[in-house]
Amino acid sequence: MGRDPTSFLKEEYKELVDNDLDWRIRVLQGASSARCMVDGRSVIMLCSNNYLSLSNHPKMKAAAVRAVGTHGAGSGSVRPIAGTMDLHVELERRLARFKHAEASLVYQTGFAANAGLIPQLVGKGDLIISDELNHGSIIDGVRLSYADRAVYKHCDMADLERVLLEAERHTPVYRRLLVITDGVFSMDGDIAPLDQIASLTERHGAMLYVDDAHGEGVLGDGGRGIVSHFHLDRSKVHVEMGTFSKDFGVVGGHVSGSQDLVNFAYNRSRTWLLSGSHPPAVVAACTAAIDVLESEPQHVRNLWERTKEFRGAMARSGFDTGRSETPIIPIMMGESATAKRFSQRLFEEGVFALPIVFPMVSKGKARIRTIMNATLTKEDLELAIAKFEMIGKELDLI
């Protein structure tokens, strides 16, 4: 009998564990909130994408319950066959209005939007130009395309222009150029200079695609995102992609832009065409989240107040918060083992903040990635800050 062909699974997992590069899953017992139960312990939540805590908003929960009563538990099909309900159509109408876009299309997840649309926008004879720190879903979407690929240095406009100029001299001439960037970079919390990128793409005749998953609900007028933040003409950003799983507090992806974009996307994106559509409760809750953002601006204001307080306290304590400009605030640790030890000590002290290690970030750039929440109380934030300072001194980091 020969060697077990699956033995590599155990071996490679053990290697991850031995090098402190494995994920150790903790279990949330109850709702995602600023104070919650994780693995039987009451903790202050500092690693959820539920920035505005909308997943617990009474309007959203009530909308979800009503939708189950009127439309059932599931949609019954994929969107192009029998899975498009009036609830889906209304959500897309409301989202487009919120984004000040001509049209929007809802995908099953943000990952599905990137993986499904990017390889359809460009193919053989085209070029994709991507920021070096773009999200993994963008990277996988690019890999699924037959287009040539180029990478520019992170948020470096001179380097982006260099790549665009080289692309114009390419033989044979590229049919299409597509520049892709995150809006807010999820590991560092910095913001792409989208106004400058839009100027360059317009000058060189390239399409512009921005993944604003972490910008919605954070940046722009009423949380409308990075296009609003930079007051850009909608025609200069050809694809604005986003997600309902973060500030909107539910789940799902979406793209906004021209009606032509949406018509193209739902006819060509296999992730959209071949995946079951969102159940009624999810769709109704997403629509209710838009209602909340439009009528209750205090949530976004509270989020930025917590962000300013926490980042300031970390800086005064001597921690390195990297390039952060947003509620994503990395506390740089360096080595993976240090980040994991720091996270474990935080958990023991009642603070839930996860380590981010290689390969999600470069070797030597491990960090505790904290994400602020609009409903953190002053007392909880002060306690969390005190625990960071205590453990930082304990581990000789500050």
- Residue 70: pLDDT band (50, 70, 90) is very high
Task: Summarize the confidence of residues 89-103 as an average pLDDT.
Answer: 97
The pLDDT, as a whole number, for residue 203 is 97
* Cα distance between residue 139 and residue 255, in whole Å: 17
Task: Summarize the confidence of residues 3-7 as an average pLDDT.
Answer: 89
- Residues noted as catalytic: 186, 214, 246
Side-chain half-sphere of 387: how many Cα atoms within 13 Å?
A: 21
Question: Each residue of 113-158: pLDDT tens digit?
Answer: 999 999 999 999 999 999 999 999 999 999 999 999 999 999 999 9
Contact 34, 375 (CB under 8 A): yes
- Residue 20: pLDDT band (50, 70, 90) is confident
Token reading at 233: 């003409």
**Ranges in the chain annotated CATH 3.90.1150.10:** 24-51+297-394
The pLDDT, as a whole number, for residue 41 is 95
pLDDT tops 90 at residue 360: no
- Residue 1: pLDDT band (50, 70, 90) is low
The pLDDT, as a whole number, for residue 24 is 83
pLDDT tops 80 at residue 21: no
Question: Each residue of 318-342: pLDDT tens digit?
Answer: 999 999 999 999 999 999 889 999 9
**Ranges in the chain annotated CATH 3.40.640.10:** 58-295
280-295 vs 298-317: helix axis angle to the nearest 10? 80
The pLDDT, as a whole number, for residue 362 is 84
The pLDDT, as a whole number, for residue 113 is 97
Task: Summarize the confidence of residues 183-196 as an average pLDDT.
Answer: 97
Mean pLDDT, the chain, rounded, equals 95
SS3 assignment for 279-322: CHHHHHHHHHHHHHHHHCCHHHHHHHHHHHHHHHHHHHHCCCCC
Q: What percent of the chain has pLDDT over 90?
A: 94
Token reading at 25: 């899953």
The pLDDT, as a whole number, for residue 391 is 97
What is the fold of 58-295?
A: Aspartate Aminotransferase; domain 2 (3.40.640)
CA distances from 274 to 41, 75, 78, 109, 277 (A): 40, 14, 6, 13, 9
Instruction: Give domain 24-51+297-394's CATH architecture.
Output: Alpha-Beta Complex (3.90)
Question: Each residue of 254-305: pLDDT tens digit?
Answer: 999 999 999 999 999 999 999 999 999 999 999 999 999 999 999 999 999 9
The pLDDT, as a whole number, for residue 122 is 97
- Residue 108: pLDDT band (50, 70, 90) is very high
Task: Summarize the confidence of residues 167-194 as an average pLDDT.
Answer: 97
